[in-house]
Copies of this chain bind each other. A is one copy, B any other.
Amino acid sequence: MAPPGNDKNQLFLGLFIHSVKLGELQYLHDTAVCVDKSGKIIAVEKQCDQKKAEVTLYPKLGWKVDDVTVTIAKDGQFFFPGFIDTHIHAPQYPNVGIFGKSTLLDWLNTYTFPMEASLSSLPKARRVYTRCIQRTIAHGTTTAAYYATIHVPSTNLLADLCLSLGQRAFVGRVCMDNLGPKYYLDESPSKSLAATRATIDHIRSIDADFDLISPILTPRFAPSCSVDAMTQLGALHQETGLPIQTHIAENVDELKLVRDMFPDSKNYADVYDRFGLLGKRTILAHAIYLSEEEADLVAHRGSKVSHCPCSNSALTSGVAPVRWLLDKGIGVGLGTDVSGGYSPSVLDAARQAALVSNHLAMPPRTGKKQIDSSADTEANTSFKDDRELVRLSVEEALHLATRGGAEVVGLGEKIGGFEVGKEWDAQLIGLGLVPEEDDSTELKQDDQDQDQDTGNVDIFGWERWEDRVAKWVFNGDDRNVKKVWVRGRLVHERR
Interface size grouping (class) on chain A: 35 or more
A391 close to B127 (CB less than 8 A): no
Those of A250-269 within 8 Å (CB) of chain B: 252-253, 255-256, 259
Chain B residue numbers with a CB within 8 Å of A316 are 358-359, 361-362, 387, 391
A97 close to B471 (CB less than 8 A): yes
Known A98-B470, A393-B101, A443-B491; contact A460-B127, beta-carbon cutoff 8 A = yes
B-contact 0/1 string along A437-462, CB 8 Å cutoff: 11111111111001101001110101
Q: Does A235 contact B (CB under 8 A)?
A: no
Chain B residue numbers with a CB within 8 Å of A475 are 96-97, 342-343
Which of the listed residues A127, A368, A380, A472 has the most CB atoms from chain B within 10 Å of its own CB? A368
Known A314-B355, A316-B361; contact A446-B494, beta-carbon cutoff 8 A = yes
- Segment with Cβ contacts to B, from A5-13, A141-149, A159-167, A274-282: A159-167
Q: Does A240 contact B (CB under 8 A)?
A: no
Known A369-B324, A475-B96; contact A495-B131, beta-carbon cutoff 8 A = no
- Segment with Cβ contacts to B, from A168-176, A220-228, A288-296, A421-429: A288-296
B98 close to A463 (CB less than 8 A): yes
- Segment with Cβ contacts to B, from A24-32, A370-378, A408-416: A370-378
* Copies of this chain present: 2
A313 close to B363 (CB less than 8 A): no
Alpha-carbon distance A471/B96, docked complex (angstroms)? 7
Which of the listed residues A165, A363, A436, A472 has the most CB atoms from chain B within 10 Å of its own CB? A363
Taking the nearest CB of chain B, how far is it from the CB of A468, in angstroms? 9
Those of A455-492 within 8 Å (CB) of chain B: 456-458, 460, 462-463, 467, 470-475, 477-479, 490-492
Alpha-carbon distance A370/B341, docked complex (angstroms)? 21
Q: Does A237 contact B (CB under 8 A)?
A: no
Chain B residue numbers with a CB within 8 Å of A323 are 368
Q: Does A317 contact B (CB under 8 A)?
A: yes
Alpha-carbon distance A17/B436, docked complex (angstroms)? 39
Chain B residue numbers with a CB within 8 Å of A474 are 96-97, 314, 342-343
Alpha-carbon distance A253/B376, docked complex (angstroms)? 11
Q: Does A204 contact B (CB under 8 A)?
A: no
A365 close to B364 (CB less than 8 A): yes
Q: Does A301 contact B (CB under 8 A)?
A: no
Alpha-carbon distance A249/B436, docked complex (angstroms)? 38
Chain B residue numbers with a CB within 8 Å of A366 are 364
Chain B residue numbers with a CB within 8 Å of A443 are 164-166, 491
Contact of A441 among B100, B161, B355, B462 (CB under 8 A): B161
Alpha-carbon distance A374/B165, docked complex (angstroms)? 45
Taking the nearest CB of chain B, how far is it from the CB of A168, in angstroms? 14
Taking the nearest CB of chain B, how far is it from the CB of A399, in angstroms? 15
A256 close to B98 (CB less than 8 A): no
B-contact 0/1 string along A308-323, CB 8 Å cutoff: 0000011111111101
Q: Does A367 contact B (CB under 8 A)?
A: yes
Chain B residue numbers with a CB within 8 Å of A451 are 450-451
Taking the nearest CB of chain B, how far is it from the CB of A39, in angstroms? 15
B456 close to A453 (CB less than 8 A): no
Contact of A477 among B96, B320, B361, B456 (CB under 8 A): B456
B126 close to A439 (CB less than 8 A): yes
Q: Does A388 contact B (CB under 8 A)?
A: yes
* Closest 10 pairs (CB-CB, A-B): A97-B474, A342-B474, A97-B471, A316-B358, A289-B373, A313-B355, A164-B441, A445-B493, A255-B373, A98-B467
Can you list 17 A-B contacts with CB-CB less than 8 angstroms, sorted by A residue number? A94-B463, A97-B471, A98-B471, A101-B393, A134-B447, A135-B456, A166-B443, A249-B373, A255-B373, A291-B372, A318-B362, A319-B370, A321-B370, A364-B364, A364-B365, A367-B386, A456-B478
Interface residues of A (CB under 8 A from B): 93-94, 96-101, 123, 126-128, 130-131, 134-135, 138, 160-161, 164-166, 249, 252-253, 255-256, 259, 288-292, 313-321, 323-324, 342-345, 355-356, 358-374, 376-377, 380, 383, 386-391, 393, 434-447, 450-451, 453, 456-458, 460, 462-463, 467, 470-475, 477-479, 490-495
